[in-house]
Structure 1
Amino acid sequence: MKIYSSIALSGVAALMATTAFAQGGTITINSFGGAYEEAHRQCVIDPFEAETGATVQIVTAYSADAFAQLRAQAQAPQFDVIHFSGGQEIVGAQEGLLDPIDPASLSNAADLYDFAKSNLEAGEGPAYSIAAIGMIYNTENAPEAPSSWTDILDEAYADHIVLTDISNGYGMLGFLMLNQVQGGSLDDIQPGLDAVSSLLENGAIIVSTSPEIQQEFAQNDAWVAPYASDYAFTLRNAGLPTAFVQGEEGTPASFITANLVAGRDNDELALKFIDMEISPEAQACFADALRYTPTNSKVELSEEVAADVVYGPDAVAGLLRFDPTVIEANRADWVDAWNRTIAQ
Structure 2
Amino acid sequence: MFSSRTRNVAKVAGVIALSALVLTGCRAATGDDAAGANSGSLSVNSFGGVWQEGLEKTVVTPFESENGTKVGLTTALGSEALTLIRGDSAVFDVAYMDLAIVEQAKEAGLLQTIDLGQVPNAEDLYPLAVDEENYWLAYITSMSGIAYNTDQVTEAPTSWEDLWDDKYAGHVAISNVAGTVGYQFLVQAAKMNGGDENNIDPGFEAIERLMPNVVSIYNTPDEMSRLLTSGEAWIGPWYADRTGALKASGAPVAFVEPEEGAIAVISTMVIPKDAVNVEGAHDYINFQLAADVNSEFVQATGLGPVNAQSELPQSYLDENYVPYGEEQVDKLQAFDSAAISKNLSAWIDRWNTEIAG
Q: Which TM-score tier does this pair reach, normalised by the shorter chain?
A: 0.7 to 0.9
Measure, in 2, the Cα distance between the counterparts of 1:289 and 1:174: 28
Q: What TM-score does the superposition give when structure 2 sets the normalisation length?
A: 0.82
Within 5 A, what are the aligned runs for 1:268-307?
268-307=279-318
**Corresponding position: 1:312 with 2:325:** yes
Measure, in 2, the Cα distance between the counterparts of 1:178 and 1:42: 40
Q: Summarize the Cα distance change of 1:44–1:184 in structure 2 as closer, same or farther, 3 Å threshold.
A: same
Q: Which amino acid aligns with 1:328?
A: S
**Corresponding position: 1:325 with 2:338:** yes
| Aligned residue pair count | 318
> Unpaired segments of 5 or more residues in structure 1?
1-22
Q: Summarize the Cα distance change of 1:90–1:213 in structure 2 as closer, same or farther, 3 Å threshold.
A: closer
Q: Which of 180, 186, 190 is the aligned partner of 2:201?
A: 190
Contact 1:142-1:157 within 8 A present in 2 as well:
no
Contact 1:141-1:223 within 8 A present in 2 as well:
yes
Measure, in 1, the Cα distance between the counterparts of 2:130 and 2:268: 10
Measure, in 1, the Cα distance between the counterparts of 2:150 and 2:313: 21
Q: Which of 21, 31, 43 is the aligned partner of 2:46?
A: 31
**Corresponding position: 1:175 with 2:181:** no
Name the structure 1 match of 2:9: none
Runs of 4+ off more than 4 Å: 93-96
Q: What TM-score does the superposition give when structure 1 sets the normalisation length?
A: 0.85
Measure, in 1, the Cα distance between the counterparts of 2:182 and 2:109: 30
State the 1:136 CA deviation.
Answer: 1.4
Contact 1:90-1:124 within 8 A present in 2 as well:
no
State the 1:90 CA deviation.
Answer: 4.1
Q: Which of 94, 97, 122 is the aligned partner of 1:109?
A: 122
Within 5 A, what are the aligned runs for 1:250-261?
250-261=261-272
Measure, in 1, the Cα distance between the counterparts of 2:202 and 2:215: 17
Within 5 A, what are the aligned runs for 1:1-344?
25-74=40-89, 77-93=90-106, 95-119=108-132, 122-307=133-318, 308-343=321-356
Name the structure 2 match of 1:5: none
Q: CA RMSD in A?
A: 2.2
Q: Which amino acid aligns with 1:100?
A: T
State the 1:139 CA deviation.
Answer: 2.9
State the 1:293 CA deviation.
Answer: 2.3
Q: Which amino acid aligns with 1:212?
A: E
Q: Summarize the Cα distance change of 1:288–1:328 in structure 2 as closer, same or farther, 3 Å threshold.
A: same
Contact 1:24-1:55 within 8 A present in 2 as well:
no
Q: Which amino acid aligns with 1:88?
A: I
Q: Which moved more, 1:264-273 or 1:142-151?
A: 264-273
State the 1:100 CA deviation.
Answer: 2.4
Measure, in 2, the Cα distance between the counterparts of 1:233 and 1:92: 31
SS at 2:99 equivalent: coil
Q: Summarize the Cα distance change of 1:102–1:136 in structure 2 as closer, same or farther, 3 Å threshold.
A: same
SS at 1:36 equivalent: helix
Measure, in 2, the Cα distance between the counterparts of 1:256 and 1:124: 13
State the 1:161 CA deviation.
Answer: 1.4
SS at 1:325 equivalent: helix
Q: Which amino acid aligns with 1:165?
A: N
Measure, in 2, the Cα distance between the counterparts of 1:165 and 1:337: 12
Measure, in 2, the Cα distance between the counterparts of 1:43 and 1:123: 25
Q: Which amino acid aligns with 1:198?
A: R
Measure, in 1, the Cα distance between the counterparts of 2:109 and 2:175: 34
